[in-house]
Structure 1
């Protein structure tokens, strides 16, 4: 089952990240056939690493937690926050290299019986927009209720947020979804 794993950097760790980069990549190589999406979040100007995103297909929550906590950057204390949430992948396309992307996310509390929790999850035609390269509904551990969304969009933050908002609010059961948008880059050795 896929899990969305996001780790936010500690302040001022750029040099240390570079020192641990090969260990990080070697660790990720072990999961290469299970990584659905991966790459760093970066500052608005694209110059500074701010976090790390992985959507990885693993057996269960315990395996996802292990994946996150055994990652070399985490073990070295270079991350300050860690998010691990089960994800239902709704759309996944191969991102292009050297193209600006934005990662749009939102999380909301699960509320029993909300329309977004009982209707089938989907994008309602948004999948035809080629700017969307990845979309996943974040779900509770039983996979029954939607608790958020994560999307990678070939657009700058404001445009990306506007593109994701309609289906995020549908997944949220018609409630307003507070979306965050940050620059993201395709990761990996290639």
Structure 2
């Protein structure tokens, strides 16, 4: 089942996010084949990172929560709030979709 992780950073945590990001990306790479989508949540300026949104397939909620507990941003204390929700993707992904510039 796909689980969506909605994760919001603590205020003034940009330096922590930057410092831990290489470890976070390595952790994400380990589940890349099970990932529906992932990326930072941004402020309206399109640059300032405010959190993370990930959708990853896990066998159970317990497995999803265990993964998040060991994820580097979580271990570093980056997030002010987090939620993990089951998700069903009813719309196929657009081929060649590119973010707005």
Q: 1:48 to 1:90 in 2, by over 3 A?
A: same
**SS of corresponding position for 1:45:** coil
Higher normalized contact order (CA 8 Å, seq sep 6+, divided by chain length): 2
Q: Number of paired residues?
A: 100
Determine the structure 2 residue equivalent to 1:73: 73
SS in structure 2 at match of 1:92: coil
Q: Alpha carbons of 1:95 and 1:37: their partners in 2 closer, same or farther (altered >3 Å)?
A: farther
1:172 equivalent in structure 2: none
Larger Rg: 1
The aligned residue for residue 24 of structure 1 is: 24
TM-score, normalised via structure 2 length = 0.91
1:26-175 correspondence runs (5 A): 26-93=26-93, 96-97=97-98, 99-100=99-100
Moved over 2 A (4+): 94-97
State the TM-score, normalized to the length of structure 1: 0.50
RMSD: 1.6
Unaligned 5+ residue runs, structure 1?
A: 102-190
Q: Identify the residue that residue 127 of structure 1 maps to in structure 2.
A: none
Cα distance in 2, alignment partners of residues 66 and 100 from structure 1: 34
More helix by share: 2
The SS at the match of 1:12 is: coil
